[in-house]
Copies of this chain bind each other. A is one copy, B any other.
Amino acid sequence: MGDTHLDRAVRLDRADRLAGYRDRFVIADPALVYLDGNSLGRLPVATRERLRAVVDTWGTELIGGWDRWIEVNRAAGDVLAGIVGAAAGEVILADSTSVNLYKLACAALAARPGRTVIVTDDDNFPTDRYVLAGIAADRGLTLRMVGTDPDRGIDPAAVTAALDGDVALLCLSHVSYRSGAVADLPALTAAAHEVGALVLWDLCHSAGAVPVGLTAAGADLAVGCTYKYLNGGPGAPAFLYVRADLQTVVRQPIWGWFGQSGQFAMGPSYDPLPDIRRFLVGTPPVLAAYAALEGARLTAEAGVEAIAAKGRALTGYAVDLVDAWLAPLGFRLASPRDPCRRGAHVTLHHPQAWQVCQALKAAGVIPDFRAPDRLRLGMAPLYTRFVDVHSGLSRLRDVVGAGAHEPYPSVPAGIT
């Protein structure tokens, strides 16, 4: 049985047209099975070189480096636009996802005066829920939470039922951080527009993993991070998208000098640029921005459609192994079974998921844990091989089969 699964993995790797991309990353320990690229992507070889070069530029050109650095947010934005199905000039690298979410949510609310409701789902990523709750509290608005099954993802009917003429903004994640479920972005965008609301998509778990198609769906606003599937480095700057025709209509609340027309005239009043740069605020972290740019370039070069196809194949193969090996050991799939409804990670329930997670790390496989009982296995398509999925899941089977997770202490307070 194991041999058959391994044969299949080897065959799939041989046929993989993205296989060569693994060599574009630093693989420090070839024996390690890294299944957490959905939390922090690997280091691209080009990024290491680029960072050396940027640091050298700082050392040698000093302030003169800004002649080129000033363009990095837009350059990265244009690459990212291609990745999320938007046009050049509709995306810019800026701040963190949370700060961008705040900026764009406030901008949306200001564009829908008189409307008093923000809609999101109760399984949305914590920072999204918290940021929206903060805005609602500050402005006396209602945050309407749509109930969502954390294993199945957003139910379009439940969202639609929550939309009415009071809704200013619908804010959802495209791919769920827990289950990996893909929301129906075009249908939900249309549903929001139907009631005259704006829609703000969080693309953190989808950008670089699945096609997003912002332009095709007519999406209004979006944010996302670059440190997961886009391999931009720990805490790399985030990005934001504003549809071209909305850019001069909506206005974000943090009026910083990087959004100003004639920034260095330093004039008396704020007069924001007539393009995507008006959503910038302060001086961008240049080193981190170049790492984000390099990571995004690699994804753009490989192509999101090819990446997504491999992601479906990787997670599909993983689900087969789960059925064959892990279901009998008490694991239960916590992700959609339909590959077209999944991002590039697969999540499993196990009553001792925390202990299993620790034992698996000791066995040279890096997954991650999501409270209270989920093991999340990310299969970033650019560098994850089918044989890695085979190794990771067979080690998981062996660890739990042997009860090697039992001696680990249970999940610490502060995590549940």
Contact = CB atoms under 8 A, between A and B. Distances in A.
A240 to B, nearest CB: 12
Given A127-B282, A133-B269, A255-B131, A42 B63 contact: no
A227 B238 CA distance: 20
A408 interface: no
Interface residues of A, number: 83
A63 B366 contact: yes
Interface stretch (A16-24, A179-187, A283-291): A283-291
Given A256-B96, A285-B285, A59 B55 contact: no
A73 to B, nearest CB: 10
A235 interface: yes
Contacts of A238: 282
A134 B254 contact: yes
A382 to B, nearest CB: 14
A34 B64 CA distance: 11
Interface stretch (A111-119, A212-220, A259-267, A320-328): A259-267
B286 A234 contact: yes
Interface in A52-81: 52, 55, 58-60, 62-66, 69
Contact of A254 (B40, B51, B98): B98
Interface in A343-395: 366, 368, 370-371
Name, among A39, A225, A283, A415, the residue most crowded by chain B CB atoms within 10 Å (CB to CB): A283
Contact of A95 (B129, B135, B282, B414): B282
B235 A130 contact: no
A64 B291 CA distance: 19
Contacts of A317: none
Contacts of A368: 63
Contacts of A30: none
Contacts of A26: 59-60
Given A58-B234, A97-B283, A416 B265 contact: yes
Interface in A216-272: 225, 227, 233-238, 253-258, 260, 262-270
B58 A371 contact: no
B287 A291 contact: yes
Contacts of A319: none
A289 B99 contact: no
Contacts of A39: 63
Interface of A: 26, 28-29, 34, 36, 39-40, 42-43, 47-48, 51-52, 55, 58-60, 62-66, 69, 95-99, 102, 106, 110, 122, 125-127, 129-131, 133-135, 138, 225, 227, 233-238, 253-258, 260, 262-270, 281-289, 291, 366, 368, 370-371, 414-416
17 contacts: A28-B59, A39-B63, A43-B58, A58-B234, A69-B234, A95-B96, A98-B254, A98-B258, A99-B254, A127-B256, A127-B257, A127-B282, A129-B268, A130-B260, A133-B255, A264-B371, A266-B371
> Which A-B residue pairs are the 4 nearest by beta carbons?
A96-B282, A134-B255, A98-B282, A98-B256
